[in-house]
Structures are given as structure tokens and as C-alpha cells.
Chains A and B, each alone.
Chain A
């Protein structure tokens, strides 16, 4: 079982160009900013949109081929969890979940039975007679998942499944969802703009920007070596473009950094993690090879660290403790010295 997608789809001025293969038993996260084409991708796989060129194959059946074949959604074995869930407000939870099996030919009794089974499987059978309006966000998410799973799809599509939840519920539901997805035998495609979803739920991450795939790798690989500034910003690291020769990295936006990689040459990307950047009020002495001055442009709190954005060149993000911010009197506009060890620069070819 697998999904092969190689198509373009035009929505007005926007064009989505997508090529990838998804294997059964894996969770693929589609990560990208708003307007990147993430929802268009899901809708096209589901059959709510048609391809303009190319084709989509599910389980070695071509479900969509430009101008030749188009199987409508009911003819595809696809489950769809919509953003905000789109639970039918006039039906009970049970009727919502039984809707799929009923529509696909089961009798009322068999469909209700199946719906109960799925609700039990997800631990929410007590909600069966509830009206959607009385559900909390987390409950609605589970019901939407149950409804999508009740048709026993080969492909499960989730559009921002956690975006509608508040932060506390989100981390709880995320853990639950990870467990449920791991028991789902089919192939899961999950659209998100939250890197945490991608890191914790997916086996593989495809970064989509402006309608094109810019990176397709494991979550660890994306975290270690993001391919674009967008991906780097999501991960929370600084990504620099430059040209390396004999360990000297000449940055495209000005400045030179020393690296530990003496062999590499040519155009490269360099990642600097915020924890590797030290911030000083006076020019530091000693071992770090890279020392340069800069001006703080912004401070933002994140967990137990404060992220300090500094204009360089090169501009970087440093992570310091709240105590350090107070001690050194860091504020936007403060002139500081930055230092990074050569070994803390991760350099890789573009």
C-alpha cells in the first residue's frame, strides 16, 4: 500500500507542484507557512480538487490523472480530518461516526455497531449520544478522527489537527494522536505549521513553501540541517548562506566565520544553534575563533530561555537565561559582543 503523487494543481494565481511517495504505516508531516499549498495538497489527494497535470495513485489504482481519470472522493479509500473538524452539528456523535459506513453501504445497525467500536477504540464511547455543540475542543478532535477512521481508509489525511486546540489540550491530544497514528496501518499525511507536530508525530517531514517541496527528510535531519530560512526559523536556529574555502566561511550577507571543516569548499549552508552563541557586554578574550559585535533587535521569552535577536553581520539568534538578561542589562538597542566556537558551526552543502 502506498500513495504516489506527482502533479501540479492551479488555484487561481497559485500553483502547487508536488512529487512524493508515501508508504503504508508511516506518518508524513507536510510543514509549511500559510498559503504554501498544504491544504490544496490534502484536498487533491482526497479528490476534492483535481490535478491539472500529472497523476495520483493510491494502492496502485490511479485515482486522478489529468484529463483522463478522476475518481470522486467516495470512490477513494481516504479519511479526512478537517481543520476545525467540521463535525455535522445536527447529528449525534454516534451518527457522525456512523455516517461514513452508512454512506458506504452498511445498514443502520451495522454502521452504529462499527461506530461504537471505533469510539471504544479511541476511548470516547461515552460521548456517543452527545451533540457536537456540547463537545470540548479535544473531544471534537477525537470525534473527527473516529469519524475518519470509521470508513477504514487506506490513507488518512489530517489538516492542522491540533490548531483549533488551546495550548494545554494541544500537548495532551498530540501525545494521544501519536499513539493512535502508530496503530493505524495505512498511510497518514498530516498538514501542520507547528514544527512540534511534525517532530513528534511524523516519521518524515516534507517542507512546502510557495507551492513547492523544498525539503523532504526525517524530522531529525530537518532539525539538524534545515534547507531554508523558514525551516530554520521554525526549528529556532539561524541559517546562513555562504561560500567556504579552507575553513573560512564568507557569508553572502557580509562577515566571515571560521569553521572546523577544512575540507569543504563551495557554496554551503551553516546552522548556528542559539545555545552555541555566547553574549558578552565587552569584547571577550580566549578560545572562541568567531567574535563579532552586534546590536540587539529583539528579545523574546521561550520556555526557560530568552531568545536574543542580534543584528550583525552576521545576524543570529542567541539563547540566554533570564538571569543573564538582567545581569548584563540586555535590551533592544544594546551593543553586545557575540562569540561562537568554530566546532559549533554545522556546515553542509546547499
Chain B
């Protein structure tokens, strides 16, 4: 696929803007590395604020990914098999959080799960449960924004799965649950990993919806991106150190996924 082409087919009018794009994307990364406080790196990362942010980011992003897997995978299956009425509308609804400014997602979540929200007031009066400004609220915000990545990846995987494998399992006597567990899930396993990693990376980077819905309380709702934002106003080197940690995570995810996300259909 990656055969090199003769030089004559690399026209300058594409080459030059392309190189500018590369510079635009790469130079900021170099800037970050250049300004990194390498000497005090360890001290910054082990400071209480950084450790709290790391802990909250890890817990909430993993929990959000877990929720997305448990409820998003079945939805992806329903969309792929077009079982629900209005599948096309539902599919569009799933993509909305991807396109929406995250702040707006946060506002939406407040109107639904806030103390006076549609579901929130009922949760509060009935069970005394309050979601905004709690760690659970962070998980909800991250799930809302990140789950579409998992759903889209999994729907593609279910769609490209040969339906005769499930048919064969059924004729062999497998119940729908056995078929899903022993045939469908293993066959879409690679896509599930890819979708989960994408979802997790998006949840880890979540900022707008989190700060709007869950607020910015150190030790409770302040995740890494929120800590970076706050540190930037007071302590630039901490912001840069935390940013480097996030960048490292991104690169690890990219390496782990390699071609998978770029070619989801070939899973």
C-alpha cells in the first residue's frame, strides 16, 4: 500500500502546504518539550494537586469507559441490526455529543441531571442523590461526551460482521445470550478494544462538559485537564508538566491502536 511514488507525482502546490501543515502540528509539541520543567518534573507530579488530578482522571475515565462498554455496546448492536424503530434518527442522536461544543454538553447535562433538572430533581427528592459537583458527575460528563466513539466503532464492527456466524450459532442450538457471548463478542473483540481505548482517551481529555456540569473542585471533580487549566493561571511549569503527561498518554494510545482506528472496517 505504501509504495513510494516517482518524484514527478509530488507536485509542489501540494507539497508546500502539506509541509506547512506538518510544521503547524509539530512545532507546538516541540515548544512544549522546550519549555518543560525537566528539573522539577518529579516534584510537580507528586504534588497533592497533581496526584489528586491524576487519581480523579484515572478513576473517572476508566469508569466512564466501563459504563460506555456496558450500555454503549448493546446500543451499537441494536443500531447495527436496525432493530429499533427510527434507527437513522437514533444514530444521528448518538453522534450529536461528538459535534456539540463540550460546554453545551455540560449545560444539557445540568438541565437533565441538575438538582432542578428533568431527572435530577426526581433523583434528589426521591433518593437524595445529587450528581452535579460530584465525582459521579465527572463520570457522567465524560461518558456523555466519550461514549459515541465507542458506539460508532462498535456499530461498524457489528455491521461488518458476517450475520451467518450468528445464524450458524443459532441453528447449532445457542441461545441469543450464548451467541452474543461466544460468537459475536469475540469476533468484534479487536474493535471493542479500539473503541474502548478511543473512548477512554476522549474521557481522559474531557474538559468543557466536566467543568460545566461537575465544577472544578480539587480532590473531587478536578481532573487532569481542569488542573492544567487552573495551573496555567498560577504556575505555568505545573501546567506544562501535566500537559506533557497527557501528551505521553496520547502517544501511547496512538501507538497501541496503530492501524485499527484508521481502518476500522478491517477488524
Q: Which residue numbers of A lie inside 8 Å of B, CB to CB? A: 43, 46-48, 72-74, 78-80, 82, 84, 86, 88-90, 99-100, 103-104, 147-148, 151
Contact = CB atoms under 8 A, between A and B. Distances in A.
A118 to B, nearest CB: 13
B82 interface: no
B123 interface: no
Nearest to B171: A80
A84 B172 CA distance: 16
Interface string B159-203: 000101101111111110010001100110100000000000000
Nearest to B179: A103
Contact of B187 (A79, A90, A147): A90
B173 A88 contact: no
Most buried by A among B164, B168, B170, B186: B168
Contacts of B168: 80, 82, 86, 88, 147
Interface of B: 162, 164-165, 167-175, 178, 182-183, 186-187, 189
Contacts of A100: 172-173
A77 to B, nearest CB: 9
A79 B170 CA distance: 10
Given A86-B165, A103-B175, A103-B178, A74 B186 contact: no
A283 to B, nearest CB: 58
A73 B189 CA distance: 26
A84 B165 CA distance: 11
Contacts of A89: 187
Contacts of B189: 90
A43 B164 CA distance: 11
A88 B170 contact: no
Centre residue among B167, B169, B173, B187 by max chain A CB count within 10 A: B173
A43 B174 CA distance: 16
Contact of B169 (A47, A84, A99): A99
A147 B186 contact: no
Contacts of B162: 86
Pairs of residues from A and B, 9 with the lowest C-beta to C-beta distance, nearest first: A100-B172, A103-B174, A104-B173, A103-B173, A86-B164, A80-B171, A74-B173, A73-B170, A86-B168
A99 B171 contact: no
B164 A147 contact: no
A78 B170 CA distance: 10
Nearest to A95: B182
B171 A88 contact: no
Contacts of A80: 167-168, 171
Nearest to A84: B164
A103 B164 CA distance: 17
Given A82-B164, A86-B162, A86-B164, A103 B187 contact: no
Contacts of A147: 168, 172
B171 A79 contact: yes
B186 A103 contact: no
A96 to B, nearest CB: 9
B172 A48 contact: no
Given A80-B171, A90-B189, A104-B172, 16 more contacts: A48-B167, A73-B170, A74-B174, A79-B171, A82-B167, A84-B164, A86-B162, A86-B164, A86-B165, A86-B168, A88-B187, A99-B172, A100-B172, A103-B173, A104-B173, A151-B172
A148 B182 CA distance: 17
A25 B16 CA distance: 75
B208 to A, nearest CB: 40
Contacts of A43: 167
A50 B189 CA distance: 31
Nearest to A97: B172
A103 B172 contact: yes
A103 B170 CA distance: 9
A99 B173 CA distance: 9
Given A88-B165, A89-B187, A48 B171 contact: yes
A148 B172 CA distance: 7
A259 to B, nearest CB: 50
A48 B170 contact: yes
A80 B183 CA distance: 17
18 contacts: A46-B171, A73-B173, A79-B171, A82-B164, A82-B168, A86-B164, A88-B165, A88-B168, A88-B169, A99-B169, A99-B182, A100-B173, A103-B172, A103-B173, A104-B172, A104-B173, A147-B172, A148-B171
Contact of A74 (B165, B170, B182, B183): B170
A180 to B, nearest CB: 18
